[in-house]
Every structure is written in C-alpha cells, then in structure tokens.
Amino acid sequence: MQKQDAPVGAGWLALLVVGGVALILAWGLRYGLLEGGRLPADCTVGGGAACAFKNALVWSFLGNKLGWLALASGVLAFLSGARVLAWIGWVTGVLGIILYCFDSSAVGLLAALLTLIRLPKSTAQGHHQTA
C-alpha cells in the first residue's frame, strides 16, 4: 500500500492559503477602501489613479460581473475537470461573495471547490487497485 496523503494534504493547504489571501484582499477592498471612505467620493472631475481604481473596482461587481465569472468558470471546470478554470472560479467566488455578488459567486465557488477536491483519475484508479 502506498500512502497518498501528502499530495491531497498539499492540495487542501493550497486551497486554504489561496482562499484566505483572496478573502483578506476582498475584505480589505470592501471595508478598508470602498466603505472605509479611503477612495474619493466624487470622481466626476479628474481624480487620477484613485478614481480609476475605484471605478474598476465598482465596475467588477456592478451587474454581478464577478459572480458571473465565478459561476461560469466554476461550472465549466466542474463539467470539464479543468483545474485552471476551477482555480479561477475559486478565487473569483471568494472575491464575489465579499464584494456584493453573493448568489452566483457561491454556486461558482462550490462547483470550483468540488472540482479542486476531486482526486485525479490516475490517483483514484491507483487507490482502488491497492485497497
């Protein structure tokens, strides 16, 4: 019997670290910058880089764009098994849940998570043969 715990444990650790970093980033953007009043309130005239950043941030969640990206990438990853899409769905799902895109972000995040925790076919087949 071969022990397969190390790769699976490393995968969980990566999920937690990446998800934690995305969560801290989203929380900082929402509560530290946007709702904390650290970005300009009126960006109608000029404003420079701070207004451009604020406009891009607000644009990302207006119309549920983050949520739709999380949902699309998470569901496509679940259907195809594409891990790159699953990572995109995981990160944008975490960001979207904090940044006002709850429903579609949650579904995309869960679909991405199911894809990321799924054992690769070669590992799953090898595990059944040795058990």
CA 109 to CA 89: how far, in whole Å? 6
pLDDT at position 22 is 96
Please report, for the chain, the start and end positions of each structural domain, with discontinuous segments joined by +. Answer: 64-117
| Closest C-alpha to 7, from 111, 119, 87, 105 | 119
Asked if 94 and 53 touch (Cβ cutoff 8 Å), the reply is: no
pLDDT at position 6 is 45
pLDDT digits (tens, 9 = 90+) for 72-101: 999 999 999 999 999 999 999 999 999 999
pLDDT at position 124 is 52
pLDDT-flagged residues of the chain (< 50):
1-6, 129-131
